[in-house]
Chain A
Amino acid sequence: MAVCIAVIAKENYPLYIRSVPTENELKFHYTVHTSLDVVDEKISAMGKALVDQRELYLGLLYPTEDYKMFRKLHNSYTDIMCNPFYNPGDRIHSRAFDSMVNSMMMQVC
């Protein structure tokens, strides 16, 4: 279960960000921002090694969550991309995407 899900454009701004309502939500946003550095590191490392460039899942920051969650997220993301009325770079406003994210977020009473 996730506490925060974010989709970041290649220009490093969020297309979609949702977190479980808590007191210190800003902490999640900082974590997402910091994790982008890890993503950059991994991508530049991939360029040097002969790693399969098609492997989209770069790995976990912490070994807890599962790959399936990423797959679901990515599949929904590609569905958004296929919408002819969606312009790449727009914020993501989609009921289908919201309900998929809802199903993955931790339930907070």
Chain B
Amino acid sequence: AMEVIWWGRERRKLSSRELFVLTYGALVAQLCKDYEKDEDVNTFLDRMGYGIGVRLIDDFLARSAVKKCRSYSETADMIAQVAFKMYLGVTPSVSCSNTAGNEFSLILDKNPLVDFVEELPAERASLCYCNLLCGVIRGALEMVHLAAEVTFLQDRLKGDAVTEIGITFLRKAEDRKHKRNK
């Protein structure tokens, strides 16, 4: 019976994928009508994403039953290989971009949110179409007591070669104090 429940859930997820993608597109298009400046739309998308992230984290922890991550690197892997897979059905590749070990880059090969968007309209050249995702990641991390900055470093929709999300884990105030005292 358990298998039937989860199988049914999977089926439902697959058939509502397009509705989700279209809904997201409608949301972005509406925001573009409401706000003249790309920066404002980007900020709003990030804020909405944050609101989703602080709630989604509980669903994620419940459904993935993962153990606590012991490093930033494990956390970045978790986001890319478990969370992205669970909610978007894709697995971005992860790499650490600095020696301090707190900056990571997620490269999205496929991104279902932009399935139907060929390119940004000419008057929206600075729009971060998927900025909601940055807010989601930021909000979710905050709920597990990890402060992070999350932005799009590259975007195929803007003509870049790849789509890249940068996650920078910010050192907690206690950590910094501790290191200084050493």
Contact = CB atoms under 8 A, between A and B. Distances in A.
A79 B18 CA distance: 11
Contact of A82 (B22, B28, B124): B22
Interface residues of B, number: 16
A54 interface: no
B25 A82 contact: yes
A94 B21 CA distance: 19
9 contacts: A82-B18, A83-B116, A84-B22, A84-B26, A85-B32, A85-B120, A85-B121, A85-B124, A96-B118
A66 B121 CA distance: 35
Contacts of A48: none
A99 to B, nearest CB: 11
Nearest to B116: A82
A84 B28 contact: yes
Interface string B115-133: 1111011001000000000
Contacts of A95: 118
Contacts of A84: 22, 24-26, 28-29, 116-117
Contacts of A94: 118
A24 to B, nearest CB: 33
Contacts of B116: 79, 82-84
Interface string B1-32: 00000000000000000100110111011001
A101 B144 CA distance: 51
A85 B22 contact: no
Interface string A70-93: 000000000100111100000000
